[in-house]
């Protein structure tokens, strides 16, 4: 039996997660699900689609813990999904009067539906094959949430695979997860631009074994063109990384307005607070204080809070970043940061 938020399911928690599991439940994705709920809590009257529902726990939690959807489509290709989802809904007293339960291939499902305001793509591996159909039917101002668990190619372990799947060159380095996230965002934006849509990141983060981004759709040729102008290559120690998304990863207004009035895990509030903080500094990459201390030949790295205070006293904005426990997003160049760190 598993319990998550206000939902219980008669499923054993697996020791390891595999692609062939059925029903598919990953306890490590609780944070992922709650980030979706935190963002959706600011919306209302949504027509929502969950093409890759697995156990259906994401949709069940939204239905039971939020009051934001007018209609929901839940889908999974597993032949037992419709009956199983009905049982889970009954067990948790979830009303399915505005819910359509389907057993289809997620790649073709959106084409058969009317347009919608929200879709969540949470596959095992890359979201690539689901992007085209999901984006084409997304309404203006609608939200697309997607997850990629193939972090190794995006983070530089398999650069040829990344080039083939995401049309960009990654790099294994301190900032590899931020670069990988930005490469993923660019790929999704390129697919959207084909359909005259601009996708603007609302919330983006890297966590353990996956990347997640929620984007808001704008139906506009000129906005799609503007998005493409924010795709570029960056240099890291003389090596080219990208092309990747160079714009903002978060909408600070959305992060500031998140209300976790559902049964969230301890990590959820911490993540939202960190993302809101680092969104103040709109820079690509971050400074790793441990690396910097080693480069400067210091006897040991100073405490991050002491560095933040010293930078602030010098008129430099600095915030912790979720990409690294020893990293700071800093509104100044590295040489300026070095001067401050040497004095801490």
- B/e letters for 89-122, b = 16+ CB within 10 Å, e = fewer, are beebebeeeebebbbbebeebbeebeebbbbbbb
Q: Are 292 and 337 in contact (CB under 8 A)?
A: yes
Q: pTM higher than 0.85 for the full model?
A: yes
Q: In what order do the strands lie in the sheet with 46-50?
A: 99-102, 69-75, 46-50, 116-121, 138-148, 210-219, 197-207
The pLDDT value given to residue 97: 95
Q: Are 183 and 209 in contact (CB under 8 A)?
A: no
The answer, yes or no, to whether the previous bond of 23 is cis (omega within 30 of 0) is yes
Q: Which domains does the chain have, with CATH numbers?
A: 2-278 (3.40.50.150), 287-343 (3.30.56.70)
The pLDDT value given to residue 17: 61
The pLDDT value given to residue 137: 86
What is the three-class DSSP state of 115? coil
**Residue that the structure tokens 């603007």 belong to:** 200
The pLDDT value given to residue 266: 83
Which tokens hold the place of 42? 């600011």
pLDDT-flagged residues of the chain (< 70): 13-23, 110-111
**Residue that the structure tokens 């990347």 belong to:** 211
């Amino acid at each position: 039996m598993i319990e998550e938020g206000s939902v219980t399911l008669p499923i054993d928690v697996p020791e390891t997660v595999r692609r062939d599991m059925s029903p598919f439940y990953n306890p490590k994705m609780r944070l992922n699900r709650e980030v979706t709920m935190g963002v959706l809590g600011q919306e209302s009257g949504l027509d929502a689609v969950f093409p890759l529902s697995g156990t259906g726990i994401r949709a069940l939690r939204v239905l039971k813990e939020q009051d934001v959807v007018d209609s929901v489509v839940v889908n999974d290709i597993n032949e037992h999904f419709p009956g199983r989802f009905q049982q889970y809904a009954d067990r948790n007293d979830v009303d399915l009067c505005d819910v359509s339960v389907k057993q289809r291939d997620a790649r073709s499902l959106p084409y058969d539906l009317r347009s919608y305001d929200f879709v969540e793509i949470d596959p095992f591996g890359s979201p690539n094959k689901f992007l085209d159909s999901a984006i084409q039917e997304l309404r203006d101002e609608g939200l697309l949430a997607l997850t990629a668990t193939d972090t190794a190619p995006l983070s530089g372990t398999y650069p040829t695979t990344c080039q083939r799947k995401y049309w960009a060159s990654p790099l294994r380095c301190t900032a590899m997860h931020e670069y990988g996230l930005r490469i993923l965002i660019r790929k999704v934006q390129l697919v959207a631009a084909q359909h005259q849509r601009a996708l603007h990141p609302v919330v983006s983060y890297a966590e353990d074994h996956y990347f997640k981004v929620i984007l808001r759709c704008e139906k506009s040729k000129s906005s799609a063109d503007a998005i493409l102008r924010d795709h570029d290559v960056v240099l890291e120690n003389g090596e080219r990384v990208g092309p990747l998304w160079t714009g903002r990863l978060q909408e600070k207004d959305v992060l500031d307005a998140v209300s976790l009035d559902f049964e969230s895990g301890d990590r959820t509030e911490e993540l939202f607070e960190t993302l809101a903080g680092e969104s103040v500094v709109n820079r690509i990459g971050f400074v790793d204080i441990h690396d910097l201390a080693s480069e400067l030949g210091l006897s040991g790295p100073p405490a991050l809070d002491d560095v933040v205070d010293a930078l602030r006293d010098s008129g430099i904005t600095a915030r912790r970043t979720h990409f690294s426990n020893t990293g700071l997003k800093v509104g100044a160049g590295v040489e300026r940061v070095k001067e401050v760190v040497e004095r801490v």
